[in-house]
Amino acid sequence: YALQFKNVFGLGLDQAWSEWIRWEQQFQRANLDSLRLYPITPYRPITATALGSISRSYYDPVGNKLYAALNYPGEIPHLAAIDIATGALRKIGALRGASTFFVTSLAYDPAGQQLFFATKNSSWRDLYQIDVPTGRSRLLIKNARIGDLAFTQADQSLWGLRHDLGLVTLVRIPPPYREWNQIVTFPYGQEIYDISLSPDGKLLAASHTEASGRQKLIKMETAKLLAGDSSFAVLYNFEFSSPESFTFSHDGKYLFGSSYYSGVSNIYRYDFSRSEMEIVSNAETGFFRPVPVSEDSLIAMCYTGKGFLPVMLPNRKPDYVNAIQFLGNEVIQRHPEFENWKIPPPTGIVLDSMHTTTQPYSMLAHTKLSSVYPIIEGYKDYTALGLRMRFDNPIRLSELSLTASVTPQKNVPDAERLHLGLDFRYWQFKFQARYNGGNFYDLFGPTKRSRKGYSAALHYQKYLSFDQSSTGSYSSNYHLELAGYGGLEKLPQFQNVAASFDKAFYFDAGYNQQALAKPLGALEFEKGWRWQLHSENSLINGKLLPQLRTNFDYGMLLPVPHSSLWLRSAAGYAWGERENPFANFYFGGFGNNWIDHLAYQRFREYESFPGVEINDIGGTNFGKMMLEWTLPPLRFRRLGMPALYCRWARLALFSSGIVINLDSAPQRRKVANLGGQIDFNLVLFSNLNSTLSLGYAGAVEENRRLRREFMISLKIL
């Protein structure tokens, strides 16, 4: 891309980007000079630092507090009370599934000191209620899909907007807030948002938008709405600028909100007595989400490079506010032909005419050959050449992959030269079959997944709950697997352990549950817990050998942002003779290959033990514990070139201890290690993410010399 850019424009990409930055700085400096021709609105910061993303907030005049939901780096999203006088923050409760920017929908009952909020804000929202003084919360409606909450003291009801099938429905939720009632569903292409109820509960104000992009501030009468009349009056037409977060003053005489109408987000005030809209700020970086405090003061969110800063500003109309120059307008004036470069509006599409047929969908009938390509893969320490065919259907609910390869080296036995593989997925089922199975990543490094012999396995996984968002993962699932192996030379799971019998049958069952969270800007989860329970039952030469193990991880945030401490534990017990390799657990090594595609921090997995050889530690029962300290990442603004650059580097330090064969003193082993791993996030060809990892660990054991392991691995894609 960089070379082609230079060929087309005669200018290097770096030089062009630097010139663009200089030009934009001059352009924005001219805009700032234009704004400063008139006095900039003064303000007083309420908190010492910016608070990242902030939801709509509510002022409590009795306690002089501001209630809001916060999402900022170094802290898990939460509901907070902000002391207006001191700026001190008190956490009220954690917020699950926060949105990146608006955090959550929030409403406040001042008489009962109750906050209403939504969780899972990127999916099917749950509606919760939390008591401000105690922090006790309770679920009101699961999967409510209701946001834009507003509360009225007139009848203690909660109002909100529900989104479903592209339509927006205004709903009312009366006490005890266990069910919602439909008030009005707006036609397709029309939406309202940012609703607010007047103190007496008679009026509902909202922002209204159409498919054309035109937006306006409207009001509706709640009595008429409850009677089925959804008519509204337009208070002000903002044309193509969004009216945001308009809220009633405590006396109901005004509405305060913000808009980019002048090119900068300023605070606007609508006066019901005069039916006029007035601007009440002249901002440089922008004011958002105003909260009326008194006749002469407002709280607003001032934009900064580190997020929103709560500030106090005067409720006073400035002398004059200049509009800034829009870059888009400048471009159109210089190049009028760009005005025709626009997509037709969606209103011009007749959806009914696009409907062609209705019939049951058959995944098998729609499954087609999608690709055929040559492959190279590893088999033991050799290289195999072959072909892969892939079949799938348009909605990707099922897929089939077939591979066949041959190892040409003569020192491979004839019976092992052919390698076949079949992978089939259908909904929650997976079927896998192998004959002398190979693996591409066996070509690069110590971990081998290729095995001599034949096998077939059927796997089923079912999620009991699933809630995934940018700030957390809360889920539970179980899985079942039935597998059979023949012609075994090594154990199916452990590459360095010889099989005592060439046939094996397995039935596995497992349960996993986790509640993990991460702050804004985190690379991975930094707090929470994960629990796993796994049962593996093997049938070897007619004898059943059950195994049971459990894992539990717990992590906590440290005072330094994006630094966390994790305690990872595991324990297991197997019923069977210690001399039988099928009845043992095995541990050892980092587990990464030089080039890999699996998780790059594999030292966290229960079977890993950096510092010793793979599968070096084995026993019929064990207890293991690891303490891990993840340090804050170093982020690089400019390290590399367009075709290959590094975005961040992060170091993790860990120490583990394991005891095996706890029930037999003569065969008991105690091993400990200390190590670290540093990961570099690389971007190849502008958009392909990879991770380069370097690891080192030393392991100590009684009556044995110090053992060391160095690991280097590149996780591709």
Give the pLDDT confidence of 205-248 residue by residue, as tens digits.
Answer: 999 998 888 999 999 999 999 999 999 999 999 988 999 999 99
List the beta strands (DSSP E) in 393-503.
Answer: 398-406, 418-426, 429-435, 454-469, 472-486
- pTM for the full model? 0.89
pLDDT tens for 572-614 read 999 999 999 999 999 999 999 999 999 999 999 999 999 999 9
Torsion, Cα 445 692 512 119, to 10 degrees, reads: -170
Indicate the fold that domain 97-319 takes in CATH: Neuraminidase (2.120.10)
Indicate the length of the chain as a whole number. Answer: 717
CA pair distance 580, 281, nearest whole angstrom = 79
77: confidence class by pLDDT, cuts 50, 70, 90: very high
d(CA 379, CA 408): 11
- The residues near 65 (Cβ < 8 Å, ≥ 6 apart) are 59, 81, 82, 83, 84
Helix 13-35 vs helix 2-9: crossing angle, to nearest 10: 70
Spatial separation of the C-alpha atoms in residues 6 and 702, rounded to whole Å: 63
The amino acid sitting at 454 is Y
pLDDT, tens only, 379-410: 999 999 999 999 998 888 889 999 999 999 98
Where on the phi/psi map is residue 222: left (φ > 0), alpha (ψ -120 to 50), or beta?
alpha
pLDDT, tens digit, for every residue of 638-679?
Answer: 898 888 899 999 999 999 999 999 999 999 999 999 999 999
The full DSSP string for 135-192 is --EEEEETT--EEEEEEETTTTEEEEEEEETTEEEEEEE-TT-S--EEEEEPPTTEEE
CB proximity list for 405: less than 8 A, separation 6 or greater: 375, 376, 377, 379, 384, 385, 386, 387, 418, 419, 438
> What one-character-per-residue DSSP string does 357-400 give?
------TTTT-EEEEEEEEEEEETTEEEEEEEEEEE-TT-SEEE
Give the Cα separation of 120 and 134 in Å (integer).
23
- What is the CB-side half-sphere exposure of residue 269 using CA atoms within 13 A? 23
What CATH class is the domain 468-715? mainly beta
Report whether 443 contacts 383 (CB < 8 A): yes
Per cent of the chain over pLDDT 70 is 99
The answer to whether 207 and 246 are in contact (CB under 8 A) is: yes
What are the extents of the domains in the chain?
2-34+329-340, 97-319, 360-443, 468-715
Q: Is the pLDDT of residue 347 over 70?
A: no
Distance (Å, rounded) from C-alpha 549 to C-alpha 571? 6
The residue behind tokens 């010889």 is: 498
**Mean pLDDT across 345-356:** 70
Look at residue 430 and give its three-state secondary structure. strand
